[in-house]
Amino acid sequence: DTAVSQTPKYLVTQMGNDKSIKCEQNLGHDTMYWYKQDSKKFLKIMFSYNNKELIINETVPNRFSPKSPDKAHLNLHINSLELGDSAVYFCASMRGWDTGELFFGEGSRLTVL
């Protein structure tokens, strides 16, 4: 069974469109994250969310919004897509700080034309 799964794996769309990427984890972890990895491979935190609190990286445009219907899901919604949004988006989860281990999904490659 896949621990952290993301869909879709590939997404090609036009500027100005709205799109969503779904993420589910079956590990029972309390905290989930979204990271963006750009063409230079820099992995940048976008959001952190647990059942108590959403933490947003202040540099993330408000066109990006996380939505968590329940503890096992953290979806990423993007409005009015721009060329610079092209990247690989990784979802991850963590059980707790005692292990410090992030479990990553396979990534979703978004291409904005």
Partner 1 sequence: GQNIDQPTEMTATEGAIVQINCTYQTSGFNGLFWYQQHAGEAPTFLSYNVLDGLEEKGRFSSFLSRSKGYSYLLLKELQMKDSASYLCAVSPLVTGGSYIPTFGRGTSLIVHP
- Residues binding partner 1 (CB under 8 A): 31, 33, 35, 40-45, 48, 50, 52-53, 55, 90, 94, 97, 99-107
Q: Which is nearer to partner 1, 14 or 59 (CB)?
A: 59
Please say which residue, 64 or 90, places its beta carbon nearer to partner 1.
90
Q: Other C-beta atoms within 10 Å of 81: how many?
A: 21
The CB-of-22 to partner 1 minimum distance in angstroms stands at 16
User: Residue 93: exposed, middle, or buried by beta-carbon count in 10 A (0-12, 13-18, 19+)?
Assistant: buried
Give the pair of three-digit tokens for residue 78.
């993007």
> Using CA of residue 79, residue 91, residue 96, residue 69, what is the dihedral sign?
positive
Least Cβ distance, residue 80 to partner 1 (angstroms): 26
Name the minimum Å distance from CB 101 to partner 1. 4
Radius of gyration of the chain from Cα atoms? 13
CB-nearer residue toward partner 1: 50 or 68: 50
